[in-house]
Structures are given as C-alpha cells and as structure tokens.
Amino acid sequence: MRPFTYTRPDEPAHAWAELGPDAMYIAGGTNLVDLMKCGVAGPARLVDIGGLPLGGIGSDGDTLRIGALVRNSDLAAHPVVSERLPVLAQALLAGASPQLRNLATLGGNLMQRTRCGYFRDPSMPCNKRLPESGCAALDGDHRGHAVLGTSERCIATHPSDLAVALLALGARVRIDGPGGPRVEPIDAFHLPPGDTPERETTLAHGELITGVEVPLTALGARSHYLKVRERASFAFAMCSVAVALDVREGTVRDARIVLGGVATTPWRAGAAETALIGAPPGTAAFARAGEAATEGARPLRDNGYKVELIRRVVARALTTLTTVEGDRG
Amino acid sequence: MSIEPAADEVELRVNGDPRRIRVDPRVTLLDALRDEFGLTGPKKGCDLGQCGSCTVLLDGRRITSCLTFAVMHDGREVTTIEGLGGDPEGELHPVQRAFVDHDAFQCGFCTPGQIMAAVALLDEGHAGDDDEIREWMSGNLCRCAAYPNIVTAIAAAAGR
C-alpha cells in the first residue's frame, strides 16, 4: 500500500482545506481500505471525516434528515425508517454483513465504487480506473455486468442497494465544499459512464456529502425491496428492485420502480412506472411493468439472463408488495 | 538518504487495558491487534472484509477489523476473543462453552470470528429462530462448513 499521511479534522471547513490534490476523504473505510489494498486507490493523504458533526437522524414530520456519517446498521434500525420507509430498511439490511453495516456510512455508500473484477485489478485495462486504457469486460467475464446505461467504454454495475431505495423515495443529497453548500436530487447525483466512466458522481474534488433528506410520503410507506443474489445473503445483487405503489379505488395512482445490480447507475425504470399507472394492480399489469422495465437493455454475450431476471424480479416485488398490503386488510 | 516512516500515536482500550502505540497509518486495526498487542485470536483470512474471521467488538459492536485503520480509532474500546471470558484462566464465556458443547467447528480458524459475531448477534437480539441466526451470521464464512452446529450452538446460548 502506498504510504499516506493521516489527518482527522473536527469541522467541515478544515476538511476541505486539508484535501489537497492527491488526498481522499475516508469515513467507514469499508470500500476505500479495500481499494487501497487492491492498489486501485493510492492517496498520499487521508482526511478522516469521522470527527465531523455529520451524524444524527431527525424528522420534522414530512422529511427524514440523515447525517452522512450515520452507520447503515443505525439507519436500518431507526423507528421512522422501519415504520415509514420499509424499502429503505430492507435495502440496508440486504446489503453487506452486520459487521460491515456497523462500519459503513450513508455518505460512503453513495460514493462506493463498482465491484467489476477488471476495475479492481490494476494489471487489467479499465477505462474507469485508467481512462483510455480500454474495457476488459466487454469481451471478458461480464456475467455480472450491466445491461442498462452502458457505454462502449464501461459496462460496470453500480453496487449499492441503499442508493436504489433512496432513488425510489425521491431523496435529496446535501453537499458542502469550498464552493458552498448545495442540494441535489439523487437521480442527478450518479452519472452514467458515457465517454467519462472515471467520473461517477457530480461531486467536485473537495466536496463532501453532508447528509441525505428523504421525503416521508404515502408512496414511500407502501414500498418493498427485493434482491436476487448468487447466495442467500452477503452478496452483491445480480438484480434488485425497489418498488413503491400508491393504489386507490382499485387503480395504481402512482408508482416508483428502480433497478439495482443491472445498470451502471441506480436505474429508474420510468417505462415500467408508466405501464402501471392507471391500471388495476394484478398479475397482468405486473408482467407488463416487468417487460417495460427492460426497455433499452443491451445484453452482451454472457449477461442476457439479467433481462429475464429484471422481468421476474419486478413482477415478484410488485406481487409481494400488494399481497402484503392485502393481508393487512 | 533515509525516509522516516510516518507513525501516528493512538490509544486504544484493548480488552479493558489502556494501550498506547505508535503505528504507520497503513496498519489496519487487525494487524495492530495481532502484531502490536500479540492478540492472535482475530484471524487474517481474506483481509478484504469478506470472511469475518477478523471480527472484533469496537465499542461493543461487531466489525471487520481488517477494513479499518488503527489510527482511526483513538480512544475507543476494542474487545477480542481473548477478552471475552474475563480471566484467561477462568471459565469460558457462555458462547465459547456452547461452541465446545455443540462441536461448532472443525479446523477452528474461523471460530474466534464466529464467536465474536455470535456474541454481538445475541446482544442485538437476532437469535429469534434458526433462519434469523443464519441471516445475521452471514458475514462469517466457515470453509469446513460447520454451519449447522454453529447455528445450534448459538440457539443453545440464546436459551433455546
């Protein structure tokens, strides 16, 4: 591992003042320490933001405000999350292991890098890690790679479960930095790879996620997260979906369908939402939504199964959500 | 010309004892426990947070000690398997006793991590049934596949 100097500022302004050009922020470290060991990340300076006042969870009735340093385990266990935002609690508990969730933070989760094996191996070409070096996944082992939002330069999936749920909930990311504070809707925060796969979010160097705001709505209260993996637990998604439905008088009034594990960013399936709105909830409508969710999919040699997986995961999640609703009477 | 390796001072409370060390900031908490304090209960399995054999309690909560740097934890309390039973010459912790009674290991390499995770699981209240135990032990791999007896041991320690 490349040597680095370590600093732990106690207020945000000091954090970005100390973040030189060859420096990185660290919070939980579950992703960055791993990447430093792999030789993918090699900052000369680490600025530990663990001492900044960015913790805490608060609710003012219609918005949940979560500090960037809140641990995934604490967020999942918060009563407002477990009672009013089921998709968020389920996505958090479907991610990683209890040990990792005790270290991992909200802000770090949104900044985590892909699990693409070529990205994680500095001996291989990768446009995301080393721009213009090529993409070894295009003709290589891409069984786990994305079918949506890909480009000729990068097909790596975004690995987060949490971000998929936050997108379904219409969350906003609070950011601060040398240029002043700003708030960004999470659907604009993660960038598709296009010609610049090395650029994954809108954060400028020195900027810091300070928190996330989640609107508390009726839609968010009727939500569900389904994740399909290669083993029963502690694995990244082959395909996952966050669904939220507003059903009144036998008709879907509003819907959110967001995919994970199959796209280069957390992926809002707008066509699937359109297919549902105005229809009576049921097997036929859910199958149509599953089909619509695959719109724009571009499978490669070995990841075509993900297209079928999208259809079935969307339909099953919607069935589970409405069945649970029915059981509640 | 020699280059002085960077070293930062950090104080940890390890199994109840305050300990002060100077470490290179690259040293993980796991390596500090093993190499600086001689506590070889936490094991270096994958060293990437994927196997759970390095599990320790940090301020009472389970973490993978391989994925965090020691310098990040100044002033905090770390508990390893060595600190679990209190007196090293005394009685085993009830979870250690349950692992022995139910033959919950074969080679034993993953066992300290399994036991630390199980102690945390019981503290968190996640031993309701066997499925819940399996889900909340998912961060600990056992390549001898002693899983059925691990679940039985944890259920027994929970009083079931």
CA nearest to A128, candidates A95, A159, A168 = A159
Residue A318 lies in a domain: yes
What residue type is B96 in one-letter code?
A: Q
Residue A190 lies in a domain: no
The domain spans of chain B are 8-83, 94-157
pLDDT at A324: 64
CB contact under 8 A, B68 and A34: no
Cα(B39)–Cα(B78) distance, integer angstroms: 11
CATH number of the domain encompassing residue A9: 3.30.43.10
Say which CATH number the domain at A321 has: 3.30.390.50
CB-based contact, B123 to chain A, within 8 Å: no
- Domain encompassing residue A282: 219-327
Task: Indicate the residue of A3, A29, A98 with minimum beta-carbon distance to B26.
Answer: A3
> DSSP letters along A107-139, please?
HHHHHPPP--TTTT-TTS-BTTTSTTS-BSSSS
| Contacts with A99 from chain B: Cβ below 8 Å | 49, 52, 55, 62-64, 117, 139
Structural domain includes residue A155: no
pLDDT range class, residue B3, cuts 50, 70, 90: low
Please tell me the class of the B8-83 domain.
alpha beta
With CB atoms and an 8 Å threshold, state whether B121 touches A98: yes
Q: How far is B121 from chain A (nearest CA, A)?
A: 9
Indicate the pairing of strand B8-14 with strand B77-79.
parallel
**What whole-number distance in Å separates Cα of residue B113 and Cα of residue A34?**
19
The mean of the pLDDT values for chain A is 96
Residue in chain B nearest A36 by alpha carbon: B26
CB contact under 8 A, B139 and A28: no
Write out chain B residues lying below 8 Å of A8, CB-based.
72
pLDDT given for residue B118 in this prediction: 98
SS (H, E, C) A28-76: CCCCHHHHHHHCCCCCCEEEEHHHCCCCCEEECCCEEEEECCCEHHHHH
Q: Is the pLDDT of residue A329 over 80?
A: no
Q: What is the mean pLDDT of residues A150-169?
A: 98
Strand order in the sheet with A57-59: A57-59, A63-67, A208-215, A172-176, A182-185
Say yes or no: B49 contacts chain A, CB-CB below 8 A.
yes
pLDDT over 50 at A68, yes or no: yes
pLDDT, tens only, B28-65:
999 999 999 999 999 999 999 999 999 999 999 999 99
Q: Which of A33, A35, A120 to mutate to test the interface with B (most CBs of B within 10 A)?
A: A33
pLDDT at B160: 86
pLDDT beyond 50 at B1: no
Q: How far is A18 from chain B (nearest CA, A)?
A: 17
Alpha-carbon dihedral A17, A23, A24, A30, rounded to 10 degrees = -140
Residue A325 above 70 pLDDT?
no
Give A-chain residues touching B2 at CB under 8 angstroms. Answer: none
User: Which residue out of A48, A99, A234, A236 would a mutagenesis test of the B interface target, given it has the greatest number of B Cβ atoms within 10 Å?
Assistant: A99
Q: What is the dotted CATH code of the domain comprising B94-157?
A: 1.10.150.120
* B53 CB within 8 Å of a chain A CB: no
Per-residue pLDDT at A147 exceeds 90: yes
Q: Do A97 and B121 touch (CB under 8 A)?
A: no
The C-alpha of A27 sits at a distance from chain B's nearest C-alpha, in angstroms, of: 9
Q: Does residue A58 lie in a domain region?
A: no
Number of compact structural domains in chain A: 2
B138 CB neighbours in chain A (<8 A) are 97-98, 232-234
